[in-house]
Structure 1
């Protein structure tokens, strides 16, 4: 069934070829983006149905953008994924917001919109169709959430803050208090950024009758360079009680991510990334995870990007040591 679904996606892609976007009206646009990979996954000293060559539908976005004027616009993005040996997800609304552009520096959004730090980090790291950045990859953040969002940008400094539910876009729900995420970026030059971010709230874990013992907090800092096809950067993340708001025990985690990429030729780039995470500093202090990726991507057409990628992840603790290797082709389709 899954291979049949993958074939249907390719058929749809073929039918849409040559139609990067459809203008429904002068101020309305429909578009889509698909992340599909076909890869060989191997897990040392372990047998699983997910091993071997199999396809994954990482993301299937359908976008609707509508503008009433230069100041007011509506954005809706549906999101579906189908990972190997799993059922397809429900249809999520990754974006569903109204935006008001007060002037060239200030913008407000109401609804399910991008969160300040995750949106910023994803744009600096790049290669989202291969894997998300450090925080969402390790379940330390959601990319979008329901709430009120504000952003300020100028040449030297950017700032964004979101007052949100904390439930994330996949299972939107309202808790007993408002969560806050913010990010501040100093644009040291046209290529170098120094950025920091903060999150605080209960992430709806105290909803209804659930007790509240702790407040979830996350702090991020990143230094990055991005200019003329070259990206280099490093990010650090630390959090307290991210999953322990309604549990007696306290816990914390931290991690680092280092990335680099370079456009060798107009249509070809090489990229590399390494993550190291300490997922449970207090409850399982010996547990460590690391992740490595290297690849070459090719902008085959205006609609298709193809990457040849190798990945390795490793989990190490007193009771487990496991290595996972994956190699294959990752693609991004834009219609």
Structure 2
């Protein structure tokens, strides 16, 4: 731009000189010496050099401007990518949890030791979890479940949970896919020792912790009440197969204080056994009740269930019921905790009324570091009837819970 202005100025100056010369055409032409002509040529050459220099500077500035523009554009693209990655990282959480044990098992069946006896290390559960938040309403979860049992020399890997969640309000949260069932995870929350043992109906296989279907729940009245309902395939998270109809499980809870819960629940369905070619003669039904108190220092609670026709393919009707009591107390401010539990269940009240299952444990929990705790535990399980069943299992060792 500056070189163009200079060139215009030179041309204008030369034009004015020519006009002046023309205006004085009738006058006598001035005498021009060789020295004046040389000076004029030198001035013109200097002006030409300045024009060239200004043009070069203009071209260089143009290249700088282009480079700066590209750099700004590249920086903007980089910042956009960084912002996108930052949002992805901030909106995605990856975690895990492992339950393991190292124990000695002494199991006898009618007085004879079984192959389940002996020392071993088990990884009862290893969960890897990915949570991603799309918006304040929509999110997604993927949880894998790994299990290794030394007694069975068996390793299993499952997708335990895989769902899309819409949290429209604290009172209404919808999950589509494989997700927590209303009862078992809820009871685990108040029991607090899941890594040592499953809760009552999970241990006895009268319920499962997750299944595939539609799940809804939420908190009401500022958290004083809560509910959950699931319409599911009925065969648990390990088997997402189809059936003729879906099962229903629900729960309603009342929390008079922040640490106290009174809850009831139920289940009804064919447990995924009704297919195109099989029509089970029975419909499984289950009633649940629980009352518990849980704080950082003290836990106490009890759970009860009654089930009817849980084996839906049986021709004869049957019933079962049972209860569980648990308690724990912190012995030190550092988190050392003593705990115990007692279960009793009748597994076949109509077909085999003498069939019973008794279970108890006692132990002490020790925190190691944040997210890692171990417990020294003694367990005793006895299943028997008046006929040939007399299965006794005693287990002592260390159980661990690692979460991150």
The TM-score, its normalising length taken from structure 2, stands at 0.75
Aligned residue runs from structure 1 range 156-175, under 5 A: 156-175=224-243
Note if contact 2:107-2:116 (Cα within 8 Å) is conserved in structure 1: no
Structure 1 residue 331 corresponds to structure 2 residue 331: no
Structure 1 residue 317 corresponds to structure 2 residue 385: yes
Once residues 229 and 166 of structure 1 are traced to their aligned partners in structure 2, the CA distance between those partners, rounded to angstroms, is 37
Structure 1 residue 92 corresponds to structure 2 residue 161: no
What residue in structure 2 maps to residue 183 of structure 1? 251
User: CA-to-partner distance for each residue in 1:280-318, whole Å, 9 max, x for gaps?
Assistant: 111111111100001111110013111100001112211
Q: Which moved more, 1:196-205 or 1:46-55?
A: 46-55
Q: Which runs of 5+ in 2 are unaligned?
A: 1-86
What residue in structure 2 maps to residue 28 of structure 1? 92
Note if contact 1:165-1:174 (Cα within 8 Å) is conserved in structure 2: yes
Q: CA deviation at 1:73?
A: 1.0
What residue in structure 2 maps to residue 264 of structure 1? 331
Q: 1:258 to 1:78 in 2, by over 3 A?
A: same
User: CA-to-partner distance for each residue in 1:49-99, whole Å, 9 max, x for gaps?
Assistant: 221211111001111111112211111111011112324343211110011
User: CA-to-partner distance for each residue in 1:21-64, whole Å, 9 max, x for gaps?
Assistant: xx971111222111110000012422222212111110011111
User: CA-to-partner distance for each residue in 1:224-249, whole Å, 9 max, x for gaps?
Assistant: 11123211111110001111x23311
Which residue, 370, 373, 388 being the options, matches 1:302?
Answer: 370
What residue in structure 2 maps to residue 277 of structure 1? 345
Q: CA deviation at 1:331?
A: 0.7
What residue in structure 2 maps to residue 13 of structure 1? none
User: CA-to-partner distance for each residue in 1:138-188, whole Å, 9 max, x for gaps?
Assistant: 000010011111112132111111111111101111211121100000112
Aligned residues: 312
Q: Which moved more, 1:170-179 or 1:83-92?
A: 83-92
Which residue, 195, 202, 208 being the options, matches 2:276?
Answer: 208
Structure 1 residue 247 corresponds to structure 2 residue 311: no
3-state DSSP of counterpart to 2:280: coil
What residue in structure 2 maps to residue 119 of structure 1? 185
Once residues 101 and 244 of structure 2 are traced to their aligned partners in structure 1, the CA distance between those partners, rounded to angstroms, is 40
Q: CA deviation at 1:321?
A: 2.7
What residue in structure 1 maps to residue 60 of structure 2? none
What residue in structure 1 maps to residue 176 of structure 2? 110
3-state DSSP of counterpart to 2:189: helix
Once residues 193 and 260 of structure 1 are traced to their aligned partners in structure 2, the CA distance between those partners, rounded to angstroms, is 15
What residue in structure 1 maps to residue 139 of structure 2? 73
What residue in structure 2 maps to residue 12 of structure 1? none
What residue in structure 2 maps to residue 217 of structure 1? 285
Ranked by relative contact order (alpha carbons within 8 Å, sequence separation 6 or more), the top structure is: 1
Q: CA deviation at 1:117?
A: 1.1
What residue in structure 2 maps to residue 20 of structure 1? none
Q: Which runs of 5+ in 1 are unaligned?
A: 1-22
Note if contact 1:111-1:148 (Cα within 8 Å) is conserved in structure 2: yes
The TM-score, its normalising length taken from structure 1, stands at 0.90
Aligned residue runs from structure 1 range 281-292, under 5 A: 281-292=349-360
Which residue, 129, 135, 153 being the options, matches 2:219?
Answer: 153
Q: CA deviation at 1:253?
A: 0.7
Q: Which has the larger radius of gyration?
A: 2
3-state DSSP of counterpart to 2:186: helix
Which residue, 109, 113, 120 being the options, matches 1:54?
Answer: 120
Once residues 56 and 293 of structure 1 are traced to their aligned partners in structure 2, the CA distance between those partners, rounded to angstroms, is 18
3-state DSSP of counterpart to 1:124: helix
User: CA-to-partner distance for each residue in 1:3-26, whole Å, 9 max, x for gaps?
Assistant: xxxxxxxxxxxxxxxxxxxx9711
Q: Give the aligned CA root-mean-square deviation in angstroms.
A: 1.5
Once residues 60 and 322 of structure 1 are traced to their aligned partners in structure 2, the CA distance between those partners, rounded to angstroms, is 29
Note if contact 1:312-1:325 (Cα within 8 Å) is conserved in structure 2: yes
State the 4+ residue runs in structure 1 displaced beyond 6 angstroms: none
Q: Which has the higher helix share?
A: 2
Once residues 79 and 270 of structure 1 are traced to their aligned partners in structure 2, the CA distance between those partners, rounded to angstroms, is 29
3-state DSSP of counterpart to 1:300: strand
